[in-house]
Amino acid sequence: MTTIERDPAVEALLRSTLAAHKSMFLATAGSDGPWVGGVYFAEDGPHTLVLVLEERGRTLKAIKENPEVALVVSTGSPMEPFLQARATAEIVEGAEDEAARRLLVTKVPEVGPFLATPIRTIRLTVPRWRVTDIANGWLPGKDFSA
């Protein structure tokens, strides 16, 4: 059996970058073509993110058609650490929906009023991250897998 060792520095930068950002760019591809939007998110561990999307929006429509998405967590400057990943999106309901919304409001209080609109809660499962820190020589970035 092969054991995959995790680099503690990569995991630490991944976790600190997730914690430092309230929003990310989410890319989808459905019948209307590719689309990128900015969304608020909260992390539930390093491989699970939660967010909400408007029910009538293009992003949710694309996720219903094709749950494979891509994302970037970044300030927009390539000289600051940033994260990239592919993920699987899933609409959650019931108790999981309520827990995800609480987690989201805890991290991003300004999302509160948005929760009163017609929205759906989404869970992203991220099997592998690419963690890039050019200033520290991580180019190409380093992988962090589940």
Joined together, the tokens standing for residue 12 give 């630490």
pLDDT at 127 over 90: yes
**pLDDT tens-place string over residues 108-125:** 999 999 999 999 999 999
36: domain CATH number is: 2.30.110.10
Joined together, the tokens standing for residue 91 give 């609409």
* Residue 143 domain flag: no
Range of the domain at 60: 8-131
* Residue 25 domain flag: yes
* Residue 142 domain flag: no
* Other Cβ atoms closer than 10 A to 42: 21
* Residue 137 domain flag: no
Of the candidates 93, 96, 29, the residue with the CA atom closest to the CA atom of residue 64? 29
Which pLDDT band, with edges at 50, 70 and 90, does 5 fall under? low
* Residue 138 domain flag: no
Question: Total structural domains in the chain?
Answer: 1
